[in-house]
Structure 1
Amino acid sequence: MRRLLTFNPWLYLLFFLLLVGAVLAQQYRLFERAWFVVEEWQHSGQWREHSLWLGDYRVVIDAKPIEGIRDVSALTYDPDRRSLFSVTNKPAKVIELSLQGELKRTIDLEGFGDPEAIEYISPGIYVIADEREQRLVKVRIDDDSRVLNAADFQQLSLGIGLNGNKGFEGLAYDARKQRLLVAKERDPVRIFEVLGFPHVDESKPLALQVNTDPKRDARLFVRDLSSLDFDAATGHMLALSDESRLVIELNAEGKPVSTLSLLRGQHGLQRSVPQAEGVATDDDGNLYLISEPNLFYVFRKQND
């Protein structure tokens, strides 16, 4: 006698919840992140000696408001001035900060549509990324700078995979190889390597080259990219993700070796970082972070 199939709503609900959980886990790259935790634990003794090893960092300035500033985006360290630079886009400005997060000055930007990143290149020379137009602008900043007009400076428009406001979101510079690393925020997440810009030696012709590393980008278990930083001492790169609340350290081969979580309770944080937009390190290995609307953080390595 044929058995009658009975409808079990709990079984269907369980199946639905498992399906939703699997989709969310894939969307948030939880499987890759969990596997990296295992690898990090297995190789910690080997990797720790040759990296920044972000797991050892603890917050020493936690969510300090930057007075008089909102809508901060990106961060870079200037070793000559011993200060930090960031940009805002409403209104468009460059801001200079002390290493304690105090506002030192603002510089007006003209002719920039949506400035989202700034990177120190050499004494007085910076590159600003205009997100929507995927434009890079080489600018000069000195003690007397009050206004920077994009029309006055060398520019490069790449227009790679134009996608509204999901364009260039972060910059980093490797001075030894003279390569500019450019982060595309998402859809998909990408890190481009630009050689030949900014044009340093004007006596030589411009030779531009743009490289990608799909294998490295596939290892980035994050939903988006907000900022980049390059550590000359180790040759490693830091990649900041706002949506994943994470900083990832990548070695010279582009493999993740350590992470810094931006969630409450991690690394001494009293609250989760609300919207991380910029990361930078100084010559002493201190890590600086800014978050919208105007919050400033400093992390320092603990050697206990």
Structure 2
Amino acid sequence: MNRRPPLRLLAAAFVVAALAAAGAVAQHFRLFERGWFAVAQWRQGAEWQARALWLPDYDVVVEGRPIPGVENVSALTYDPDRKTLFTVTNQNGELIELSLDGAILRRIALAGFGDTEAVEYIRRGTYVISDERRQRLFEVRVDDATRSLDAAASRHLSLAIGRSGNLGFEGLAWDPDGQRLFVAKEKPVRIYEIRGFPEATADFAVDVADDPKRDRGLFVRDVSSLQYDRRTGHLLALSDESRLVVELDTRGRPISTLSLSRGHHGLKESVPQAEGVALDEAGTLYLVSEPNLFYVFRKRRVPAGAAAAPAAAMPYSRTA
């Protein structure tokens, strides 16, 4: 004779399944890490605010302005010498110079660079462009006369770190004081630090390191762009899927966030697919989103004495 399981066993099985599903969802959206961050920010926010960019104080002043004639913008960097921005496209292969209000100033054709996903200002006239799929970093030179760039004529560094197709190198950031190039892997989230490229050391050795503890503490589902703030020594990580910009302090701890969802920071609509973030010397944040949208965020108030001297380098753990 077949007997049906007791109702309490069915109920217990249902509860276990529900808890497992809830745990999986919480892990997917990094809810435990975000909850811990919320508690830490509540307890230490006043201390952090005094020595941070402090993203909660930013509001949007230019929202979703289309960049005409451009598709699939990917990445953004600020050039302090030219007082302009540069972005790359990953379809038709272009390096595009933009004004600070998002107008196109010129288009530079790219040949042989592969799947270009990031560009970063290094020093006057020198940038690094990344090839996401093949994990290559190219050093390129740009001046007023530049109208095209050929990868074959560019010094480059090839890496092979946890290759995963189209989930490779998505973001770059340069620390001019520590001579470090931060390179973000989209998924799983990793931030590598490279010394010796593009600024070569005396023996031309290249050192690649990471900080697993810092990366585990990031409560975002992906990283699409990075930005280093020289005044505070902090790193900004942009996440498209989590619709967040996260500020990391010199110890790699998340200390503030800027939500890119509708209703936050004055946004009337959510940023659809954030791909690049840049910061100028005044602390203004610029952001681009696929397919061709441009945003500007400014701090609504700047506390007296907020500007800080360059901080100590962010510690990291070396990898073999």
Common fold, TM-score beyond 0.5? Answer: yes
Q: Secondary structure at the match of 2:56?
A: helix
Report the alpha carbon displacement of residue 146 of structure 1 after superposing the two structures with TM.
Answer: 0.7
Superposed CA offset, 1:6-29 (max 9, x none): 379777656544432221111110
- Are 1:140 and 2:138 matched, yes or no? no
- Residue 59 of structure 1 corresponds to 60
Q: 2-side partners of 1:272 and 1:193: how far apart?
A: 31
- Residue 23 of structure 2 corresponds to 22
Q: 2-side partners of 1:124 and 1:200: how far apart?
A: 17
Q: 1-side partners of 2:109 and 2:200: how far apart?
A: 25
Runs of 4+ in 1 over 3 A off after TM superposition: 6-18
Q: 1-side partners of 2:9 and 2:29: how far apart?
A: 31
- Residue 288 of structure 1 corresponds to 286
RMSD: 1.7
- Residue 167 of structure 1 corresponds to 168
Q: 1-side partners of 2:175 and 2:246: how far apart?
A: 17
- Residue 300 of structure 1 corresponds to 298
Correspondence list, 1:263-278, <5 A: 263-278=261-276
Report the alpha carbon displacement of residue 162 of structure 1 after superposing the two structures with TM.
Answer: 1.2
| Distance change >3 Å, CA 179–CA 12, structure 1 → 2 | same
Report the alpha carbon displacement of residue 198 of structure 1 after superposing the two structures with TM.
Answer: 0.4
- Residue 102 of structure 1 corresponds to 103
Q: 1-side partners of 2:280 and 2:44: how far apart?
A: 26
Gaps of 5+ in 2: 303-320
Q: 2-side partners of 1:277 and 1:86: how far apart?
A: 10
- Residue 151 of structure 1 corresponds to 152
Q: 2-side partners of 1:92 and 1:299: how far apart?
A: 27
Q: 2-side partners of 1:61 and 1:192: how far apart?
A: 32
Letter in 2 for 1:72: V
Q: 1-side partners of 2:92 and 2:272: how far apart?
A: 21
Q: Secondary structure at the match of 2:7?
A: coil
Report the alpha carbon displacement of residue 199 of structure 1 after superposing the two structures with TM.
Answer: 3.4
Correspondence list, 1:28-39, <5 A: 28-39=29-40
Aligned mate of 1:238, from 217, 236, 240: 236
Correspondence list, 1:89-128, <5 A: 89-128=90-129
Instruction: Give TM-score, length-normalised by structure 2.
Output: 0.90
Superposed CA offset, 1:180-234 (max 9, x none): 0000010x21100000000357xx4312111111111111111111000000011
Q: 1-side partners of 2:146 and 2:121: how far apart?
A: 15
Correspondence list, 1:188-207, <5 A: 188-200=188-200, 204-207=202-205
Instruction: Give TM-score, length-normalised by structure 1.
Output: 0.94
The share of aligned pairs that are identical, in percent, is 58
